[in-house]
Amino acid sequence: MYIVHAIMRMEDYDCQFCGRTATNFVFAAFVCDSAECIEKARIERGGPGGHMKRKAQGLPIVIDNDDQ
């Protein structure tokens, strides 16, 4: 049995809201240190547990931006 350890290098990712180098992975999004970008990620995800709230409502947990 082999155990593989994956290392995520944050400097390899850009903030998906402003394009600066990502320093955090929160609410299923790569974001920078900006409180504004972190808040955008929270809103997009629906807050903590937002995906499960959507599931409980019978909605898909993955939001397709083309459907909005």
Q: List, for residues 22-31, the tens digit of each pLDDT value.
A: 999 988 899 9
Is residue 4 a part of any domain in this protein?
no
Range of the domain at 48: 10-60
- Two tokens, residue 8: 């995520």
Is residue 35 a part of any domain in this protein?
yes
Confidence (pLDDT) at 6: 78
DSSP assignment, residue 47?
A: S
Is residue 65 a part of any domain in this protein?
no
- pTM value? 0.64
If one counts the domains in the chain, the total is: 1
pLDDT in tens, 7-66: 888 889 999 999 999 999 988 899 999 999 999 998 888 766 777 777 888 887 776 655
Count CB atoms within 10 A of the CB of residue 31. Answer: 26
- Which residue type sits at 25? F
